[in-house]
Amino acid sequence: MVKRILVIEDEQNVAAFIKQGLCESGYEVFLAYESLQGLELLRQKEIDLLILDVILPGMSGILIAEKIRELGYKNLPIIMLTALGTTENIVKGLDSGADDYLVKPFKFKELLARIRALSRRHESSIVINQKLTILDLELDKDAKIVKRSGDEIKLTSTEFRLLEFLLKNKNRVLSRIDILENVWDISFNPGTNVVDVYVNYLRNKIDKDCKPKLIHTVIGMGYTLREPADNED
């Protein structure tokens, strides 16, 4: 369960607002106003979740997220805050290692909902090791490793969650809304094409140089991961 939250946010009014709301909701909160201070607090405290602004003095939130993952904090949930809400910026934030992305200005209730969702996801991941497979594709949930035909495939955390959701629902047609609500927990703007971007990322990594193709588009409905029919490649 998420109890101790680190907030790295250089706008002191925003940081104070977040801290007050989180404390009133029962969380223990640590504040940092710049990157190095935040990284030092992360080393000193047992942090359960990080709320990270993108634009910071010294080192951007993007670089901080990448650094945190490199330091071995693979399972630390990260929510990124930014005023930049385009698909390109969302993808950049998620690719850096963030688990979720909240665009300013936001309602505090939405931040709480995302914290609870990431907390549930984190708790559900602490289970007996489970492997999900289809044909020669294998996803090891515990080791966070994906292989196809025995070769390891490097995925970002978001790509891994997307593939895991597709594998859990193999042979089902999943709409973009289904994927948004289950991979990112909270819906982005329904007009965003972030799902299509990440499905293409996955295709390039698990299908591009392999046969048969496993990820299929169902026109007007969404995507499905399944074994191909006899007349398909």
Q: What is the pLDDT of residues 183-202, one digit of tens each?
A: 876 655 666 788 999 999 99
CB atoms within 10 A of CB 208: 9
Q: 105: cis peptide before it, omega within 30°?
A: yes
Strand partners, 222: 218
CA 81 to chain centroid: 13
- As a whole-number percent, the residues of the chain with pLDDT over 70 amount to 91
Backbone angles phi, psi at 100, to 5 degrees: -150, 165
Q: What is the pLDDT of residue 174?
A: 93
Contact in structure between 223 and 199 (CB atoms under 8 Å): yes
Residue 33 has pLDDT above 70, yes or no: yes
Q: What is the pTM of this model?
A: 0.64
Reported confidence tier of residue 124, pLDDT bands at 50, 70, 90: low
Neighbours of 169 (CB within 10 A): 17
Measured distance CA(32)–CA(24) in Å, rounded: 19
Beta bridge partners of 100: 79
CB 130 within 8 A of CB 141: yes
Q: Do the Cβ atoms of 106 and 85 come closer than 8 Å?
A: no
Tens of pLDDT, residue by residue over 34-69, are 988 999 999 888 899 999 999 888 889 999 999 998
